[in-house]
Amino acid sequence: MYIQQKWGDKMKKHCILWTVVITLIVSWFLFFPWSKQVFEDGGTIVYSSFTYKIYIWNSIGGKNTTEIYYFPFNFKYRSGILDK
């Protein structure tokens, strides 16, 4: 009886550990900025991942702000990105 309980506790800890490891790996793939684009309009930078897209606007004589788009709106194409 004691051996079965000890084996069950060990398996429970093992399952919890693997669940945490897999969750961290999936989170890293979802939130790591895989793409970085720099535009020649004064230094606008775009960081994009599966779950977000961040525009850091820095154009000459124009926009100097930051815009964040979360999933699912991060897949929309910004037409005229260099015109603004």
**19 pLDDT tier (thresholds 50, 70, 90):** very high
pTM of the entire predicted model = 0.62
The strand order across the sheet containing 35-38 reads: 35-38, 45-48, 52-56, 66-70
pLDDT, average across residues 43-67: 84
Considering the chain, what is the average pLDDT of its residues? 79
Q: What is the pLDDT of residue 48?
A: 87
Higher pLDDT, 43 or 8: 43
| Boundaries of every domain in the chain | 1-31, 33-77
pLDDT value at 1 more than 80: no
